[in-house]
Structures are given as C-alpha cells and as structure tokens.
C-alpha cells in the first residue's frame, strides 16, 4: 500500500518538458502553435512523381497590411504559382504578438481531411510544413481563419499551372465582393462643421496676409533688440 502511495505521489512531481509536442496523427501541436494535415510524401492520385520542390516563406502580420488601404492584417505576399504535382515547403513566420494562421483550402479530401492544410502560431514565431498539390489546373484559397483576419486583409491565392482565375477580395489582386464603405452621415452638425472648417481655412491665410506688414515690423524690432549690445 505504501508503495502505491509513493508511486502516485511521485507521478505528480515528474517534470515534463514544456516544449514536448503532441502528435495526434495528422496534427502536431506544442506551446507555440500547430500544424494539421501536413503531407511531405504521399502523391495525389493524378501524380506519378513530384514535379518540383518549392520553398515558400510566408510572413503574417499587421505591418504587411500597411500597403493596403483599410486593411488591418495581411501576408507579405498575396500570390504564388507552382507546377502541377509540386511539393510545397512552407516556412510560416508570424511577425505579430497575436495568433495568425495560414490555411490552404480545396485540396483533395482523400489526402487532406476537410480539404485543407493548416499552420497556426499563437504569437511571434516560426513553423514549417510540406504538402503536395494535385495536377489539376486550379486556384486555391490561402487565408487566416481567425475572426475578421481574412476580412481585414489576410487572404492570398496559390495557383497551380497558372490557376483557373483569380479569387475575389485578394488584396492588391482582385476586387472585393463587398467593398469597404467610408460614407459620411451628412447631418446638420456635419454640414456646419464642414462650412466652419472651410471658412477657417480661408480666414487664417487672409489674416496673415493683412497683418504681414505689422508682423514684419515686430519681428525686425525684436531682431534689432537682440543684436543691439546692452550699455553697462
């Protein structure tokens, strides 16, 4: 009995490394992030061999959205082109201190559950994963699935064999399905504020011009006073 108690107590104090990853078949997870449905070696049914190895580094973060008006998050690139049956080796880098994902959708379900490959980082860091695309000429959606991240600009597209067209709402590439609207609610107060600003914009230069001579005289007097030596 004493032995059992000692074993139970000792198990409570076993130190397990915080970085140890959990491997659940198609999902690898640790304290920094996770990878789902990576596929470095299984060929799609319509491929007899890997046509090329493509190394892609993808940065995600707020600073990459600054080049797009009205966007909050983005990848540093919005489009990639690969050959049919290419093996794509992704290095995913999160430049922010918040969660970001990269998900590739529309892949064959017999190789990729739910038709997707998923990389996620819970904050600043880096992950790597590989997957193989089929031979089909197609454009695949690449985006972050966290709430509002894709809507705020974190979308891109992966084209195989030139793709079958552009996807909508890809920043810098295609028009938005629902374009952002920044309309003004023109109330009486809004019009009054606009008129006031316009009048003020005219009034300030006119006051400066009218009083230019007086201002010049004051400045000259101050300048001469500073340059004139004081009598002891």
Measured CA to CA, the distance from residue 68 to residue 52 in angstroms comes to 32
> Residue 187: what pLDDT?
87
The answer to whether 164 and 74 have CB atoms below 8 angstroms apart is no
3-state secondary structure of 170: coil
**Beta strand pairing call for 53-61 and 87-94:** parallel
Measured CA to CA, the distance from residue 142 to residue 155 in angstroms comes to 6
> Residue 122: what pLDDT?
96
Torsion angles phi and psi, residue 68, rounded to 5: -115, 120
> Residue 14: what pLDDT?
42
For 138, other C-beta atoms within 10 Å of its C-beta total 18
As a whole number, mean pLDDT of residues 40-54 equals 97
- B/e letters for 25-62, b = 16+ CB within 10 Å, e = fewer, are eeebebebbbbbbbbeeebbeebeeebeebeeebbbbb
**pLDDT 10s digits, 112-140:** 999 999 999 999 999 999 999 999 999 99
> Residue 70: what pLDDT?
87
> Residue 206: what pLDDT?
81
Give the domain 21-160 fold.
Answer: Immunoglobulin-like (2.60.40)
**pLDDT 10s digits, 153-199:** 999 999 999 999 999 999 999 988 877 666 777 888 888 888 899 98
Measured CA to CA, the distance from residue 115 to residue 106 in angstroms comes to 5
Q: Give pTM, 2 decimals.
A: 0.69
- To the nearest whole number, what is the mean pLDDT of the chain? 86
**pLDDT 10s digits, 70-107:** 899 999 999 999 999 999 999 999 999 999 999 999 99
Domain residue spans of the chain: 21-160, 188-227
- Higher confidence at residue 8 or residue 173? 173
Helix axes 188-210, 212-227, angle to 10 degrees: 50
- Higher confidence at residue 228 or residue 220? 220
The answer to whether 53 and 40 have CB atoms below 8 angstroms apart is no
């Amino acid at each position: 009995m004493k032995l059992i108690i000692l074993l139970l107590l000792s198990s409570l104090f076993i130190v397990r490394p915080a970085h140890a990853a959990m491997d659940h078949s198609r999902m690898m997870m640790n304290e920094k992030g996770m990878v789902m449905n990576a596929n470095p070696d299984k060929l799609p049914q319509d491929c007899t061999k890997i046509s090329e190895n493509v190394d892609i580094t993808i940065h995600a973060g707020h600073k990459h959205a600054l080049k797009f008006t009205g966007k909050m998050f983005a990848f540093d690139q919005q489009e990639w082109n690969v050959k049919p049956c290419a093996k794509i080796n992704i290095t995913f880098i999160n430049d922010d201190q918040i969660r970001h994902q990269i998900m590739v959708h529309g892949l064959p379900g017999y190789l990729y559950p739910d038709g997707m490959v998923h990389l996620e980082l819970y904050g600043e860091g880096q992950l790597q994963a590989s997957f193989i695309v089929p031979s089909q000429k197609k454009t695949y959606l690449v985006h972050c699935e966290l709430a509002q991240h894709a809507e705020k600009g974190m979308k891109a597209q992966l084209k195989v064999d030139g793709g079958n067209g552009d996807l909508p709402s890809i920043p810098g590439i295609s028009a938005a399905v629902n374009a952002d609207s920044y309309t003004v609610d023109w109330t009486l107060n809004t019009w009054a504020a606009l008129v006031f600003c316009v009048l003020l914009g005219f009034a300030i230069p006119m006051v400066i011009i009218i009083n230019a001579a007086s201002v010049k005289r004051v400045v000259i007097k101050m300048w001469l006073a500073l340059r004139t030596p004081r009598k002891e």
